[in-house]
């Protein structure tokens, strides 16, 4: 499976967002990962619908919108309308997960479920056919620049095995502490979308960092 690179703008210079996005777009990024935080589900507050709408005008990259918010159902339509091509919701806040995922697809976006490091993959067992992707958090969500939790690697493997057994073509996305040192192992374990914030926008040359991450991911 082709590995796709999704730079996370959380670590970009927000005062120069369009320029920063253009840099990774020209360097061959596949998606733009947009972290929406509400100060409630996670301790940080970031950006919302207006910024997603502005990004949509600024880039041709599909917007991969990661909702770290307590009540995602209220905002699904607004984010898809603003330009989200992929919408990812956290299972930890969703008592009606199947309904939410079905609604995202109905709105015309790819539907994804995110699971925190402390959440077992078994919570997804009844929704395999409703998923376009699963986002495995490899740090506890809320901030960029945290250390990758090594256990996440086994989680990705187990998820890969379970998705295959369920006949699901859902992609596995990994988010948090992804860098040149773990990209290859993650892909070998079954990840096909790598989110990277600090490893790309924290690097002196984000374009070179995007290319290097793809090389590391594809290395044999």
Which positions lie near Zn ion, rule CB under 5 A?
Answer: 35, 66, 175
Q: Which stretch binds ligand DX5 (CB under 6 A): 55-63, 87-95, 181-189, 192-200?
A: 192-200
Binding segment toward ligand DX5, per CB under 6 A, in 6-14, 82-90, 94-102, 207-215: 6-14
Strand partners, 5: 194
Closest residue to bound ligand DX5 by CB? 197
> Does position 69 bind ligand DX5 by CB under 6 A?
no
Closest by CA position to 110, among listed 82, 89, 91: 89
Q: What is the DSSP string of 28-64?
A: T-S-EEEEEEBSSSSS-B---HHHHHHHHHH-SSPEE
What distance lies between CA 127 and its chain's CA centroid? 19
Q: Which residues between 88 and 147 bind ligand DX5 (CB under 6 A)?
A: 139, 141-146
The alpha helices in 32-151, defined as continuous H runs, are 49-58, 76-82, 97-107
Task: Output 66 or 110, the one with its CB closest to ligand DX5.
Answer: 66
Angle, CA of 193, 119 and 216, to the nearest 5°: 25
Which residues sit at the interface with ligand DX5, rule CB under 6 A?
8, 10-11, 33, 35, 66, 139, 141-146, 175-178, 195-199
Active site residues: 35, 175
């Amino acid at each position: 499976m082709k590995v796709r690179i999704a730079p996370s703008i959380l670590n970009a210079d927000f005062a120069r967002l369009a320029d920063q996005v253009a840099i990774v777009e020209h360097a061959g990024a596949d998606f733009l990962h947009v972290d929406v935080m509400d100060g409630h589900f996670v301790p940080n507050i970031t950006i919302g619908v207006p910024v997603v709408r502005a990004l949509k005008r600024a880039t041709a990259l599909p917007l991969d919108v990661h909702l770290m918010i307590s009540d995602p159902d209220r905002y699904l339509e607004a984010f898809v309308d603003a330009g989200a091509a992929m919408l990812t919701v956290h299972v930890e806040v969703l008592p009606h997960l199947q309904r939410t995922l079905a609604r995202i697809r109905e709105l015309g976006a790819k539907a994804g479920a995110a699971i925190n490091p402390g959440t077992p993959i078994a919570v997804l067992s009844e929704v395999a056919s409703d998923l376009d992707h699963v986002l495995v958090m490899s740090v506890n969500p809320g901030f960029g620049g945290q250390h990758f939790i090594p256990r996440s690697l086994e989680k990705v493997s187990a998820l890969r095995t379970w998705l295959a057994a369920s006949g699901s073509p859902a992609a596995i996305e990994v988010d948090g502490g992804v860098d040149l040192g773990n990209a290859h192992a993650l892909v070998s374990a079954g990840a096909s979308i790598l989110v990277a914030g600090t490893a790309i926008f924290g690097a002196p040359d984000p374009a070179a960092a995007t290319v290097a991450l793809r090389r590391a991911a594809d290395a044999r």
